[in-house]
Amino acid sequence: MAGEPQDDCLFCKIVEGHVPATIVRETESTVAFRDINPQAPVHILVIPKVHYANAAALATAEPTVAADVLREAQAVADEEKLESYRLVFNTGPGAGQTVFHAHAHILGGRGMQWPPG
């Protein structure tokens, strides 16, 4: 159910402090941490502390939740001194989502190809 921590969710466990992560920023509503399998020199995830399965579910949340994630993505990019970066939300296994807790990938520090994937 949206909003309730999920016992089997890795990111809920990070939010609760049960799984370690290299946290770079934390607010009342979000946590940002370095990806354990970086795909760029800078690869940081921003997640809402409240559980939503993916970006589609996040889109139906209170508007402040999605806005907080986007605001923190920009704050992380600023702190990392990224002039350019890619912001990615994977939604569903066919798009490459492997942890089913909404999260934004901030990728930067190198040129990005287009189209991606």
User: Residues 6 or more apart from 7 whose CB is under 8 A from it?
Assistant: none
Mean pLDDT computed over 17-38: 97
Residue located via tokens 């040129």: 111
Kindly report the pTM of this predicted structure. Answer: 0.93
Dist CA 98 CA 90 (whole Å): 9
What would the pLDDT profile of 93-115 be if each residue is shown by its tens digit? 999 999 999 999 999 999 999 98
Q: Can 103 be counted among the known catalytic residues?
A: yes
Are 34 and 83 within 8 A, CB to CB? no
* Domains, the chain, with CATH or none: 10-108 (3.30.428.10)
pLDDT value at 55 more than 90: yes
- The model's pLDDT over 40-51, given as tens digits with 9 standing for 90+, comes to 999 999 999 999
From the list 51, 101, 103, 105, the catalytic residue is 103
The answer to whether 5 and 15 are in contact (CB under 8 A) is yes
Strands 85-88, 42-48: pairing is unpaired
Give yes or no for residue 1 having a pLDDT over 70. no
Q: Is 9 in contact with 57 (CB distance < 8 Å)?
A: no
In one-letter notation, the amino acid at residue 74 is Q
